[in-house]
Structure 1
Amino acid sequence: MKHLIFIMIFVIFSGTCDANENQNSNELTNIKEVIATFEQSIINKDKDTFLSLFIDPEAPMYGIVSPKTMVLRRAGVAEINKRDNKNFVATRYWTTSAKKLIAMSSNNKGPVEERISNVKIQTDGNIASVFFDYEFYKNNKKVHWGQENMQMIQTNQGWKIASVVYSFTSEQ
């Protein structure tokens, strides 16, 4: 009798694990589709599709400048201050939004592309953290690169990006 109870418990929990694994697998696939659409909508300069990926078009996006790029940034700001008699300060980060980012990309006359690699996803099916490497190209030239982290939430309309934080390294 004890063996029968053990076998029944094992079968019940095994089925639960398989169901959770299948659900998690489906969620990972859906999240990967959002990332692929994100990438494609930048290439296509498709504002509507890009913005549909976010919970809000004004979703915050924070760019954090690498120490290497900060040296160049300080020099550029110093040059502007001297030339234009200004008093700007080079900051280590800036805030933008999904709406502003896609507008800037769409207004570029040449091709733009964000190449994404090494994607890592953690999710419980309700929230997700998506971490990856990226390279951003304008006019077929790599202009900056770094790592990006998207916080996503599951909504009635599927997975949506709630916020983005990315590092920014450039040689210009």
Structure 2
Amino acid sequence: MKPKLSASILAVALAVNPHASGTNGHAEDQARIQQLINRFKSAIIAKDGHALRGMFLSGGSWLQGLDEGSWAAMRAKKPDARQFDPGSYEQFAHFIETTPKDKTIEETFDNVRIETDGTVGTVYFDYRFLVDGKSINHGVETWQLAHTDEGWKISAMLYSVILDGTH
């Protein structure tokens, strides 16, 4: 009798608690975060640094980490290269907006996972950065997000860099 009672209690708990069933009850927030991702990708293609800057919280953090092979390749060219290098969304936006007009740039996002409770959120995905249709690096990227009066903003970005053609 206990297994049936436990199964019944579990079924009721799953029906009452959306977190237990694997959904977090924030589908609308997840959709808005997906819109942020889409705007981010579009701003890169359009080379719109101003739009990119507007997607970040002021003072947020930015950190890239090279894998071992990429770090070794970088040290061969620049002995003082660091494996983990802080940057900023300002530097990235400047790079995007100053990329020559005759070059195409794009970042692809695969295996996107979004988690949120409606106040904060995370995005985790595999990325590939393309210049003129050719991948120059790839890795995984994660964003920490905050839901502000102006909508979802990126408060921190952390990503790995595997330089293509270095292994």
Alignment correspondent of 1:7: none
Quick one: percent identity of the two aligned structures? 25
CA RMSD in angstroms comes to: 2.2
**Offset at residue 60 of structure 1 (A):** 2.3
Q: Which residue of 1 aligns with 2:46?
A: 44
Q: In the alignment, which residue of structure 2 is the partner of 1:130? A: 123
Within-5 A mapping of 1:161-172: 161-170=154-163, 171-172=165-166
As a proportion of its length, which structure holds more helix?
Answer: 1
Tell me which protein shows more strand as a share of its residues: 2
Residue of structure 2 equivalent to 1:82: none
Specify the code of the residue in structure 2 equivalent to 1:142.
Answer: S
1:2-21 superposed matches below 5 A: 17=18
Residue 49 of structure 1: how far off its partner (Å): 1.4
Secondary structure of the equivalent of 1:99?
A: helix
- Structure label with greater radius of gyration: 1
Structure 2 counterpart of 1:94: 85
Kindly state the Cα deviation for residue 90 of structure 1 after the two structures are TM-superposed: 2.2
Question: Equivalent residues in 2 for 1:1-172 (5 A)?
Answer: 17=18, 24-56=26-58, 58-78=59-79, 89-109=80-100, 110-170=103-163, 171-172=165-166
Listed as ranges, the gaps of 5+ residues in structure 1 are 1-9, 79-88
Q: CA deviation at 1:73?
A: 1.1
Distance 1:26 1:54 in 2: 20
Q: Distance in 2 between matches of 1:60 and 1:36?
A: 21
Amino acid at match of 2:94: A
User: What secondary structure sits across from 2:86 in the alignment?
Assistant: strand
